[in-house]
Every structure is written in C-alpha cells, then in structure tokens.
C-alpha cells in the first residue's frame, strides 16, 4: 500500500478503501477532526453554541 506522505511523516491519515484496496488517502491537519454529524452537533451544544433546525424546503424563503 502506497500512501502519499513523506517518509518521516507522523500523524493521521484518512483512507478510502474500495474492494479491499486503498484508492485515496488524505493527511489530516492538526486542527482537523472527523466525527458524525450528531456528534458534531452535541459538541457544539456543549460548547454553548445554539443549533436550530430549519424547516421548509427550497421555497421557504419569503424574500424570493
């Protein structure tokens, strides 16, 4: 398996695997994190951010 990182690289890499073979890889930067959307919303709420669900479809904007 060949990853596109320097030989002295230490860190996190995301892999996309198709049919048992790595087809793409991407290095994660120090300030990048991966989580499910519900986990992100929970973390945002715990940090004091207010999350609101928008209702309606694409025609819900009364200004258009």
- The predicted pLDDT at position 62 comes to 61
Asked if 34 and 28 count as a contact pair (C-beta separation under 8 A), the reply is yes
Burial 15-46 (b: 16+ CB within 10 A, else e): eeeeeeeeeeeeeeeeeeeeeeeeeeeeeeee
Please state, in angstroms and rounded to a whole number, the distance separating the CA atoms of residues 41 and 7. 36
- The predicted pLDDT at position 15 comes to 94
pLDDT tens for the 64 residues of the chain, in order: 777 788 898 999 999 999 999 899 999 999 999 999 999 999 999 999 998 888 876 666 666 5
- The predicted pLDDT at position 64 comes to 53
């Amino acid at each position: 398996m060949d990853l596109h990182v320097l030989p002295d690289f230490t860190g996190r890499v995301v892999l996309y695997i198709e049919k048992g073979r790595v087809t793409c890889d991407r290095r994660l930067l120090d300030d990048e994190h991966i989580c499910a959307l519900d986990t992100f919303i929970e973390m945002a709420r715990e940090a004091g951010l207010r999350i609101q669900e928008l209702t309606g479809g694409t025609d819900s904007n009364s200004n258009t």
